[in-house]
């Protein structure tokens, strides 16, 4: 993966595959603390302790098309390569939380990349899931929630091209202001 | 600055014509592989380019969905196009520019872009 936002897309796809109805993506970015922390929390089916203990082993997957799973192990490696850390907690029937912390100024840290595109891809790919995206940059905060958007849409589908395009613009602008 | 009020305006405009537009059997279905292998190979900008082109041209007879790994990782990004009659075309090693051509030539004009198909690679 060339961008952290691509890892996020891949990791959140695990959540929707696990039947989550709500996924929260938190990015806590601080140049002052020299840290970029990504937390993904879902209310999907979760994993039992035994499975969880092996889940970042690339040979652990419940997919049948290929014998190796690799999304979580790639994400873990990306964080650890910068001198950061990775953690995953899960409870069967309750949900899962994945946390990856990156050293902000490490030359091995991939750029965050296009988070608007990642969110729009997620929203478009799973109409029945709600997504909350919070991004904090040295104390400034941007938040986007499909719960709020769907209320406004009042029956109009969130996956229509016009709406997804608006969401893309809204998130891009919001993040642009964070970094100003 | 974009506001939620603006979203409401777009919503109201769409609601006025909503019964005209619905996903039906007559539509062309475009499926983009969005598993780890697809994402790593560049599937996200492929999907984005297709959505953008569909919106720009105001196409109402085609829609884009996503799928997981179809077991041909070395050919990713993979895009499958299902015509209204069910005929399936598999495009491989896609990028944003190729995606726009598939929309314009295949989806709009009905001509398969043979050079991008899995058949052309064999
Ligand atoms: N959020 C989650 N909820 C439940 N199960 C999960 C979650 N994330 C990962 N898993 C389990 O861990 C496995 C490995 O995940 P991953 O490393 O992304 O590889 P893959 O998705 O290709 O199998 C998945 O197949 C799934 O069984
Ligand atoms: Mg995965």
Query: Mutate which of A43, A69, A91 to test ligand 1's pocket (most atoms within 8 Å of Cβ)?
Result: A69
Average the pLDDT over B11-35 and give the result.
80
Contact B102, B81 (CB under 8 A): yes
Domain residue extents for chain A: 4-179
Atom of ligand 1 lying closest to residue A95 CA: 3
Q: How far is CA B61 from the centre of its chain?
A: 11
pLDDT recorded at residue A30: 97
Cβ burial A27-39 (10 Å sphere, 16+ → b, else e):
bbbeeeeebbbbb
Q: Name the least confident of A21-25, B23-27, B49-53, B111-115.
A: B23-27
Ligand 2 geometric centre to CA of A12 (Å)? 8
> Could you say which ligand is closest to the alpha carbon of residue A40?
1
Euclidean distance between CA atoms A145 and B122, whole angstroms: 45
| Lookup result for tokens 């059997």 | B25
Q: What is the pLDDT of residue B120?
A: 82
d(CA A5, CA A8) in angstroms, rounded, equals: 5
B35-91: per-residue pLDDT in tens?
Answer: 999 999 999 999 999 999 999 999 989 999 999 888 888 999 999 999 999 999 999
Burial of residue B24 (number of CB atoms within 10 Å: 0-12, 13-18, 19+): exposed
Question: Over its length of 180 residues, how does chain A's per-residue pLDDT go in tens digits?
Answer: 999 999 999 999 999 999 999 999 999 999 999 999 999 999 999 999 988 988 877 665 565 555 445 899 999 999 999 999 999 999 999 999 999 999 999 999 999 999 999 999 999 999 999 999 999 999 999 999 999 999 999 999 999 899 999 999 999 999 999 998
The CA distances from residue A29 to A37, A47, A160, A179, B84, in Å, are 6, 28, 31, 11, 46
Helix axes A146-153, B4-16, angle to 10 degrees: 40
Angstroms from A13 CA to nearest CA on chain B: 8
Pick the residue whose CA is nearest to atom 14 on ligand 1: A61
CATH of segment(s) A4-179: 3.30.565
pLDDT, position A69: 57
Average pLDDT over residues B5-30: 80
Sheet strands (E) in chain A: 22-30, 35-42, 85-91, 95-103, 130-137, 140-145
- The reported pLDDT for the residue numbered A67 is 47
Distance CA A87, CA A171 (A): 27
For the Cβ of A13 lying below 6 angstroms from any atom of ligand 1, the answer is: no
Is the Cβ pair A161, B55 closer than 8 Å? yes
Please tell me the distance from the alpha carbon of residue B55 to that of residue B28, in angstroms, as a whole number: 15
Pick B23 or A37 by higher pLDDT. A37
Residue B10 and residue A166: Cβ atoms within 8 Å?
A: yes
Nearest CA, atom 7, ligand 1: A14
The predicted structure's pLDDT at residue B84: 92
The response to whether residue A27 sits with its C-beta less than 6 Å from ligand 1 reads no
Q: Which helix (H) or strand (E) holds B12?
A: helix B4-16
**CATH (one of 2.60.40.10, 3.40.50.10540, 3.30.1330.90, 3.40.30.10) for B26-121:** 3.40.30.10
The structure tokens 């650890």 sit at A80
Rounded distance, CA B114 to CA B120, Å?
7
ipTM: 0.92
> Which ligand places an atom closest to the C-alpha of A13?
2
């Amino acid at each position: 993966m060339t961008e952290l936002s691509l890892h996020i897309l891949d990791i959140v796809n695990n959540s929707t595959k696990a039947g989550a109805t709500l996924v929260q993506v938190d990015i806590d970015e601080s140049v002052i603390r020299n840290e970029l922390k990504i937390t993904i929390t879902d209310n999907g089916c979760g994993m039992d302790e035994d499975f969880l203990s092996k889940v970042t082993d690339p040979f652990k997957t419940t997919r049948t098309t290929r014998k190796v799973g690799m999304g979580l192990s790639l994400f873990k490696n990306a964080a650890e390569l910068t001198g950061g850390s990775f953690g995953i907690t899960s409870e069967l029937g309750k949900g899962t939380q994945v946390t990856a912390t990156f050293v902000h100024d490490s030359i091995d840290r991939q750029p965050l990349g296009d988070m608007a595109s990642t969110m729009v891809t997620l929203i478009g790919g799973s109409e029945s899931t709600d997504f909350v995206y919070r991004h904090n940059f040295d104390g400034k905060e941007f938040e986007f929630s499909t719960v709020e958007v769907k209320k406004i849409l009042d029956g109009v589908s969130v996956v229509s091209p016009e709406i997804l395009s608006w969401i893309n613009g809204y998130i891009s602008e919001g993040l642009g202001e964070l970094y100003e | 600055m974009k506001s939620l009020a603006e979203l409401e305006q777009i919503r109201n405009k769409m609601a006025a014509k909503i019964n005209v537009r619905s996903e039906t059997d007559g539509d062309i279905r475009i499926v983009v592989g969005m598993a780890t292998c697809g994402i790593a190979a560049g599937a996200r900008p492929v999907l984005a380019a297709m959505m953008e082109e569909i919106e720009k041209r105001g196409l109402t007879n085609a829609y884009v969905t996503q799928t997981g790994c179809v077991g041909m990782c070395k050919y990713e990004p993979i895009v499958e196009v299902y015509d209204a009659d069910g005929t399936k075309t598999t495009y491989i090693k896609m990028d944003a520019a190729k995606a726009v051509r598939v929309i314009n030539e295949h989806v709009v004009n009905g001509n398969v872009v043979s050079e991008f198909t899995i058949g052309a690679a064999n």
